[in-house]
Chain A
Amino acid sequence: MASGELLGRAALEQILPGGIAGAGTQILSIACNNNCGGRCRLNAHIKDGRVIRSSTDETPDSESMPQLRACLKGRAAANRMYHPDRLKYPMKRVGRRGESEFQRISWDEAVETIASNLRRTLERHGPASVYIQYGTGDCGAVSGVAAARRLMNLLGGHLGYYNSYSSACLRYTAPFVTGYRDTNSYQTLVHSRLIVLNGFNPAETVFETNSNYYLSKARGAGAKIVVIDPRYTETAATFAHEWLPLKPTTDTALFLAMAHVIITENLLDQAFLDKYCIGFDETHMPPGVPAGESFKTYVLGLQDHSPKTPEWAAPITGIDASTIRNLAREYATSKPAQLLQGLGPQRHAHGEQSVRAGIVLACMTGNLGIPGGGWGGGEGGRSLGAGVGELPTGANPVKTRIPVFLWTDAVVRGTEMTADDGLQAGPLESNIKFIFNLASNTLVNQHADINRTVRILQDEKLVECIVVSDHFMTPSARFADVLLPADQSLERDDFGFPWSGEKYVVFGNKVVDPPFECRHEYWWLSRVAEKLGIGEKFSEGKTREDWLKQIADDAKRNNAAFPSWDELTRTGLYREKPEAYVAFEKEIRDPAGHPFKTPSGKIEIFSKALFDMNKPEITGIPQYIPAWEGPEDSLIRKYPLQCIGPHYKRRTHSTFDENAWMEEAEPQAMWISPQDAGRRGITDGSKVRVFNDRGALIIAARVTKRVRPGVVAIPQGAWYTPDRDGVCRRGCINVLTSQRPTPLAHGNAQHTILVEVQAADGGQGG
């Protein structure tokens, strides 16, 4: 063994990567603007025009101001940028749409093609025929989507949408109960004695930069943590004291059974219910409602003769009755208790009910509006923000809006859509004819029932023109008519916003030039605007950078503490001290002065508005309705396994699927229980075929106890890679999902799938 002498600087320089930092290395903050809920501080280290490494938040790390550390994806930002498969040049389609045959064109030709197609579409079909696809590949302040909206709003408008693919049921439904949707901030968790995480998995999905940090602190402070999830997620493994392996789509049944226990064992916070809520019992109903419609009546089964006992819920949920009973008692007696529902439980056939049932449960125990006690759906949705705006898009002259999930309907039968479809301010004068798909993989990959979508898109008489801008040849890019190469976040200046929870904003510098002919959408949209005669109105003579500077100036004008542009480029951050924020605190403290923003001014456990809609699946109170393609659907005899599509730590939706480092860290694989695998001759690592009536895919199996029997989990976001028979070889779950929307929000029910699984490759392992 060589003796351990101190290696001199010269020797170190030989063996260490990138040499010693010092002369020639510049360190600049960058923005990582993916749709993960985190917004972290990242730096790029640049030497000789190349990013040689990254680093994260280097400000002091303290409990009152924890660093904003990036995750594995953020640390791979440069790696992603240097991927050899970057789209390099503008291209136009030759051959049939979807065949992915492209020819390189100049930017001039691309701009001309887009402008002339847009002009023709507007002339023939009107502005409501233009659709700017939902997409969150770029969450910055001056994004391609914002620029496209700005353009269209100057050209007469475009078909709008409401909801999102993330939180349709939550966003739409929570206001019926509490007036608006809100969550206690993570800083309050440390006060909780019990934290119930229902389909909430920040350890894998981030959901704000320091979510797990605060969860860990809460656990350290003595909070008991219960995870309700079909999978033993990383969140469960690290934080949970107890795991309830629930069958997907049955959350509402669980909560109803818990409500039953709380009622029958007199664990109610009756004072809270009487003071703040209507609809809980018969004596607190709004006027004009027949008797027997209260929540209590329903739970006790007084009207439908089906008391929602733990014994009733056990076979439905797959959780045994004593566990349900114990959790109910614990939830009612551990105060304050925080119930956090992730976005998974609201992304199924009756996601609306999960949301409502959760809120009601919180109200029954008085766990709302107090530090450590609350109900939260996802990340909250409040905009504490930091006063930093985005590119102004102006008002959309077209008032018609579709539910975002029904865009394929709007392509096929837009003019026939009605309010029953969730169409707002209709009718539509035209189906969708022109689609901008910018920094988005919704066109194909992230929308449900890919085989159906593909057939619709292949018909060039339906959608006449599709313009796509992206970094790679994604499944959506393959369906472009004009395909444009976009720049990445390190190749431009930008702001980055957290979802909510803290008042801060990050600033990312442009650290390298975009390669080849990659350009930001704002640039070519400006030129399209010029072609269409509204160049000045669109750009106001500003480049994208000018707009950013203006946004920064505006922020500084509204807030003297906001840094100057120079300081922003240097520090990459404006951040105020994180505060513990309690949702509905005002309403709870002073209900007279701050009534809930509902028709009754109270929390509407019973909603007359919903009741009056008079639809069988839209109920006055939260009810358990068995999901179509759920565990009680007779289809389960043909397709015996429930399938869910969790969000994967190595991707943000479909971003990073192309990345080799991410694939090495966590390869695309389907979780399946040893029981289900054994019965089918499937071994760990072997390839399996997963299919239902809508499509099929091949994926590697990960046989693990961490998913409940009867359920398989295919991480969503993998790129649709069909073979000659249309079978996806990469494991894109959306070949299996359905385009059927949820009843109230008309949202995506993408965790409602029944499948069968078979060994492929003769069932050999490895």
Chain B
Amino acid sequence: MALGVLFAVFAGLLLIGTPVAAALAVSTLIAALVLGLPEIALVQQMTANLSSVSLLAIPLFVFAGELMLRGGISERIISLAAALVGRIKGGLGQVSVVASTLFGGVSGSAIADVSAVGGALIPQMIERGYQKDFAVNVTISAALIALLVPPSHNMILFSAAAGGGISITDLFLAGIFPALLLAIAIMVTTYLVARKRGYEGEPFPGFPVVLRRLVSAIPGLLLVGIIFFGIKSGIFTAIESATIAVIYAVLITVLVYRKLKWADFIHAISGAVQSTGRILFVIGAAGAFGWLMAYLQAPAMAVEAMQAVAHDKTMVLLLMVFALLVLGTFMDMAPLVIIATPIFLPVARAYGVDPVHFGVIMILSCGIGLLTPPVGSVLFIGAAIGKIDVAQTVKGLWPFYIAMLVVLLAVVLWPPLSLSLPAWAR
């Protein structure tokens, strides 16, 4: 009864357009009143989740990403990518994929990625005569790579939503091979579409230029190494590593690149606190919602329900992937990860799926939702930069959807793709 009330009120409020955080909190409150539980316990749960140690890294990585976006790091990375892969068919499209992979490794955010790389390359591609839908589709597809590479804050979000027991280092490592596979799949798709549409590559600028651009990009790219090896070697925790990312980003963009002005800094911090408010507010409300779900034994019921329809690990994973892809079409990624993880992870565990492997599956499945209408933030930003209608963009997106789904299937069916690197590092 109370569980029915919880989900019915939550769904009803979502459908009338109530913000997810308010829908979660109000539905939890009503169900708690039905059960006769004290309301103050919900506020305690919300507060505990709102300011938990495992989430401290998220606002700091978001802040670092904002600083890099405005401080000239992305420009150097794009120049380097242009020198490296610009001559391949679909030249600037290939540049976009490589630049997204490298910048994703610095920012860890698909939104920062599409804003930085797309903002620079989509107008250039259109100027060179590429059709708008191609320019947008390559860029937004490549932006997903950022979700899988360190310092992906969605990975940290997953770890927190899972109760904090899953190693962030393992998750960061587990995403690297799938990210590289995704980059290759998008580059191949770009090549095929470019060949069909007759987009040639750019002239090779010569090795001295490649070397010069590499040297210029190194200070920015060093951040990947600092974050990655700092956490992996145990020198820094994820939070300390995020702090160092912020300080390093300020130093590089102010002292080395001399691009970050006071106004950029204010915009970066304004963007970061608003994103932090949105993300942590949902996390807080989801804490109370999840606490009540656990009280009502909803995860155990989900396991039982799944056992009635799915008989093996692969089938259960494919069912969950399907559910996440459908939910991802109309929910944003952060709330989906926060709400779905406490329900789906126990099911995956009951079937013997490694939680780190499941984390990668979850992040990629939910990430694809960022590119699907009616709610797909990366799709909307890309279309806005390309000044093209969302519906028109989506028409040309299907080869890229296929590439992403093939990679997702490979991640689901072949666990070593995700798990071999964390195992090797231990």
Question: Do the two chains bind?
Answer: no
